[in-house]
Amino acid sequence: MAVEEGHRRRDLALVSGVVALVVALLLAWLALRDGDAPEPPVAVPSPVATPTPTPEPAPTPTDPCARQAPAGFAPTSITVAGVAKGARVLALPRDAAGVPGVPPVSDKLSFAWDRGGVEPGSTQGHVLLNTHTWPDGTAMGNKLLTGLDIGGRIVLATGKGAGRQVACYTVSERSEVLASDGFPGWDAVDGPPEVVIVVCSGRRLGPGDWTHRTLWFASRAGAAT
């Protein structure tokens, strides 16, 4: 009997220990469920570098023909699309026979403007220009013969910066005539405003003596502002 009593007490103690362990585990679980456990660490976002703004491209230069001279002026330079940029214009008087002056023979790249005649930017009449043609093909006249056709733009200008004045024209006609025939009306001082450029062409007979003349007529492009 004493041995059995001892076994019962041992078993009771063992059961009590198991129950106590279960209760302890239950209490711990309840504590975790109620938020007594430490909170998990909060993720901190990594700093993001702010990209440097890309600078805007510089504005393109304004078209020189957007603002044209409201009245005539004496030109000092000429730009012919695809042929010449800022070529020099010489203001030359007519000779004793009334023929417009031409650049010096040695100046193969300049233009002559009929000083005292119709000015670029005028509201009527023909602005007369001429330049040399050389037999070796290196003068401005040669460049015009190979590079200027109907639709080409001509810009006459003077001055710089805020004082710059321009007048723009678009080629509307190109004609070649015998030097002996001339071109009636090419030097008109009235009628629609146009630029007329004249160069020697055809066959060279001798110094300054060519069989033909080529003329370009260019109408005023856009309105003066």
pLDDT at 225: 45
Two structure tokens written together for 45: 């976002």
Integer Cα distance of 197 and 90 in angstroms = 14
pLDDT at 9: 57
pLDDT at 15: 46
Two structure tokens written together for 112: 């002559």
pLDDT at 62: 76
Weakly modelled stretches of the chain, pLDDT under 50:
1-3, 15, 18-19, 22-23, 29-30, 32, 36-37, 56, 59, 224-225
Rounded-to-10 torsion of CA 164, 168, 174, 177: -40
pLDDT at 80: 98
pLDDT at 52: 60
pLDDT at 29: 44
Apex 53 CA angle, 51 and 58, nearest 5: 155
| Beta bridge pairs of residue 212 | 178, 201
Q: Which residues contact 101 (CB under 8 A, 6 or more apart)?
A: 90, 92, 93, 94, 95, 112, 114, 115
